[in-house]
Amino acid sequence: MSAAERAHRTAAADALCQQAYQSCGGADAGVALVAVGGYGRSELAPYSDLDVVLVHDDEVEAGEVAHRVWYPLWDSGANLDHSVRSFSEMLGQAGSDLRVALGLLDVRHLAGDPNLTLRLRTHVLARWRKHAREQVPQLRALVRSRHELMGELAHVSVPDIKEAAGGIRDATVLRALMSTWLVDVPHVDLERSRMALLDVRDHVHEITGRGSDRIAPEIWPQLAARLGAPDERTAQVHVRELGRRITHLSRLSWRRAEAAVARRTPSQPRRPQLTPLGPGVAMSGGEVVLAPGAKPAEDPLLLLRAAALAAENAAVLAPPTAARLARDIAPLPEPWPAEARQLMVRLLAAGRPLLDVWETLEQTGALARILPEWERIRSLPHASVIHRFTVDRHVVETCIEAGGLIRQVARPDVLMVAALLHDIGKGSLTEHSVAGAPIARAVATRMGFDAEGVDLIGQLVRWHLLLSATATTRDPDDPATIAVVTDQVTRLESLALLTTLTEADARATSPKAWSTWRAGLILDLAARVRATLDRDTPMPASATADVAIPREARAGATTFTVEPADDGARVTVIGPDRVGLLADVAATFAFQRIAVRAARAWSQEQYAVSVWEVGDEGVLPALLREKFDAIREGRLDPAQRLRAADPRALAPSVEVRPEASTQATVLEVRTADRPGVVYLVCAALARMDVTVRSAHVDTLGPQAVDVFYLQEAHAGALSDQRAAEAAHAVRAALSVEASSAPPDRRS
């Protein structure tokens, strides 16, 4: 795809419109057919609409002309977006609706009276410039609203190349911003990136066979081939880098446009005065620049100082300044002096302003002078769709989150650098925490950390997933669970750092990764580990011992209690314990297609207690009880309603974990999430007369990770043979459609 092909499509569409206008004997004076928006810019994609307006002078009646023009265009099969407006109506709409004004800035004559089109263009552009100071803030709010909804092209998992931040729409807005004469935008750089994105959109249209602007995961391989990229990752990097460049230009342009709007009186100076910030660094018009007399070749700390001061003052690090520093600054000595390390920590801990400064460092090549290892993860997509961002953006977001938590730890410097490096090992075949630990140690050593600091950073990178993985998949009351953590974390200082990094990492991943439920599990485990390491700290109460048994349950009934939770509900189920009870409860949710996000189940005296986090806010206890009773009594068979495993999905992983407990047999199940997974597992175990002592269900994204602590109905852990049989039965149940045979529901 190329600009030439878009021009060819546009020329064909123009000929179609002109022929339709001429064939109906359209008026030559006072009426014009014009193209607006992308069609007006001659940038038709394969499945773009023809966005046209029939404009007429106020005193001219164009209804009959319109009637005759539209029918030939409809008959041609063109995707037509059309309207009829008087000249006054066009100007009125442009004045009251920013979206209309933006579209009319690109108005182009197709047929009819060219003088009318010229007058329209002249009036619209003059009005746009005259009212720019009032309209620019409104346009900024409109753009921000779209960004909040669509995310960034450079970082979201499923980007929209038109509407996302850094996409085609933003490039169009920048062109409109330039036409106000309030701000200059690097035109050549913008157009190069914009035209390349238009090429990508053309490919996406051809691949999907429709006017789609979203790049779904399955599209990337075909897109890579069309772009001539060697692999999918290279294609992603190419597209995301285009988005990054446009986003960077947008941030700078909007800063300058807002500053221009603020300069309302002629008495205000056009060139702001320099305000000294630090050695060699000054502020000018909201941007951090080099002070007169600064000598980058003699001051290796100048780049870090400028970046830290820009972030701390929520200011722009001027790109020409960053580019000059990247080119001319003296290299930092190794190891870094203490002041350089402190400046780096100040930059990382600056909060949300870090994002713009870091982007400038990347775009100008300055970051390579500080952290050459960053190139490993630049624009790297995450393997899991639960992540909102690419790896590099996720790391910056983790630093931002960690910056708000530094008061919880004794070594903020270690926390911030560990947050920066925690995913530095991604992109290789080795598990990323294993691959990242030696890289992090090398970087920390180069930054001048002492041996203790280097060791702490290396440990944090190596074990940054330990608390979350253990808390969500293991029984907190089993002594072996705490040992999983204390085998690696032996000091209270290390535990505090790891807990804080875990929270920052989860918050940066997605809201679901740090829900109230998951946060409670992780913090409870951390408290138990702390009590184990420090004899003066009391051990928290058992996570499963303080549930009051309702009167109805004591009378033999199973009760359902619902309370609000994060974007859903929390359902507590209590009833007399028996083999197959958990299967029936899971079937109740599966039968109603209620998404189970997480669950925990345990035995308390002779009762079974389970707590379920579900994604449905409107869960009704009475309806749950009604369905449960029907399933329990055999009047409903959930197996007949459950969807079979997708034959294209990866085979389920079902493993016995002998190291996880000495009191029970631990079965770990990993499979693609779908309705009824927990039911299928529990039903298979119930048919073997195996008791589920406790269950720990966790769904994050498309993957279900469920752990079951198993015992014989009247004994302890399963024998090796029985454990293998249980794993085989569960694997079989998840691999094919569930048997219609109901589980054994003995009392």
> Above pLDDT 70, what percent of the chain?
93
Same domain? 46 vs 156: no
Determine the structural domain holding residue 86 and report its residue range. 3-130
From residue 573, how far is each of 558, 619, 668 by CA, in Å? 7, 13, 23
Nearest to 151 by CA among 390, 435, 344: 390
Residues 730 and 641 both lie in one domain: yes
Residues 366, 493 within the same domain = yes
The domain boundary residue, chosen from 79, 107, 130: 130
Q: Is 663 exposed, middle or buried (0-12, 13-18, 19+ CB in 10 A)?
A: middle
* Tokens linked to 259: 């500053």
| Residue 497 resides in a domain | yes
Residue 428 lies in a domain: yes
CA of residue 251 relative to chain centroid, distance: 20
Q: Please report, for the domain that includes residue 481, its CATH number.
A: 1.10.3090
Q: Rounded mean pLDDT of 633-655?
A: 74
pTM reported for the whole predicted model: 0.82
User: In the predicted model, is pLDDT for residue 745 greater than 80?
Assistant: no
At 472-481, the pLDDT tens digits run 999 888 889 9
Query: 127-136, 432-441, 636-645, 730-739 — which is least confidently predicted?
Result: 636-645
Measured distance CA(745)–CA(747) in Å, rounded? 6
pLDDT tens-place string over residues 36-74: 999 999 999 999 999 999 999 998 888 788 888 888 898
Sign of CA dihedral 698, 704, 705, 710: positive
Q: State residue 647's pLDDT score.
A: 60
Residue that is last in its domain, among 130, 159, 174:
130
- What is the per-residue pLDDT for 276? 94
Alpha carbon distance 717, 690 (integer Å)? 10
Tell which of 88, 107, 130 closes a domain.
Answer: 130
- Whether 126 and 142 map to the same domain: the answer is no
Same-domain check for residues 568 and 674: yes
Residues 498 and 380 in one domain: yes
Are 305 and 417 members of one domain? yes
Report the pLDDT value the prediction gives residue 697, as an integer from 0 to 100: 86
Q: Are 317 and 350 in contact (CB under 8 A)?
A: no
**Which amino acid type is present at position 612?**
W
Q: Note the pLDDT of residue 627.
A: 92
Give me the mean pLDDT over the 458-473 stretch.
96
For residue range 233-290, list pLDDT tens digits in order.
899 999 999 999 999 999 888 888 888 887 754 444 455 689 999 999 999 988 999 9
Distance of CA 169 to the CA centre of its chain: 20
- β 316-317/287-290 pair status: parallel
Residue 565's pLDDT band (boundaries 50, 70, 90)?
Answer: confident
The helix (H) or strand (E) run that includes residue 239 is helix 232-262
- Same-domain status, 632 and 484: no
Give per-residue pLDDT as tens, 117-132.
999 999 999 999 998 8
Q: Is it the case that residue 738 has pLDDT exceeding 60?
A: no
d(CA 285, CA 275): 9
User: Residues 167, 161: contact at Cβ < 8 Å?
Assistant: yes
Give the sign of the dihedral formed by CA 695, CA 696, CA 698, CA 703.
Answer: negative
Co-location of 192 and 328 in the same domain: no
| CATH at residue 147 | 1.20.120.330
- Tokens standing for 494? 């290390």
3-state secondary structure at position 285 = coil
Yes or no: say if 218 and 274 are a contact pair by the CB < 8 Å rule: no
Task: Tell me, yes or no, whether 546 lies in a domain.
Answer: no
8-state DSSP, 146: H
Tell me the mean pLDDT in the region 295-315. 96
User: Do 569 and 500 sit in the same domain of this protein?
Assistant: no
The answer to whether position 538 is within a domain reads no
Residue 351: exposed, middle, or buried by beta-carbon count in 10 A (0-12, 13-18, 19+)?
middle
Within a domain: 626:
yes
Domain check: are 79 and 152 in the same one? Answer: no
The structural domain count of the chain equals 4
Cβ(171)–Cβ(7) under 8 Å?
Answer: no
Q: Which of 131, 139, 148, 214 is nearest to 175 (CA)?
A: 139
Reference 241, options 342, 161, 174; nearest CA is 161
Backbone phi and psi for residue 120, each to the nearest 5 degrees, phi listed first: -65, -50
The answer to whether residues 101 and 231 belong to one domain is no
**Phi, then psi, of 569 in degrees rounded to 5:** -150, 160
Yes or no: say if 417 and 344 are a contact pair by the CB < 8 Å rule: yes
* Residue 747 banded pLDDT, cuts 50, 70, 90: very low
In a domain, 213, yes or no: yes
In angstroms, what CA-CA distances link 471 with 18, 212, 658, 717? 68, 41, 17, 22
Domain-located, residue 285: no
Q: How large is the greatest C-alpha to C-alpha distance in the chain, in angstroms?
A: 96
Q: What is the CATH number of the domain that holds 125?
A: 3.30.460.10
Q: Where does residue 230 rank: exposed (0-12), middle (13-18), buried (19+ CB within 10 A)?
A: exposed
Most confident of 96-105, 311-320, 636-645, 670-679: 311-320
Q: Is residue 576 part of a domain?
A: yes
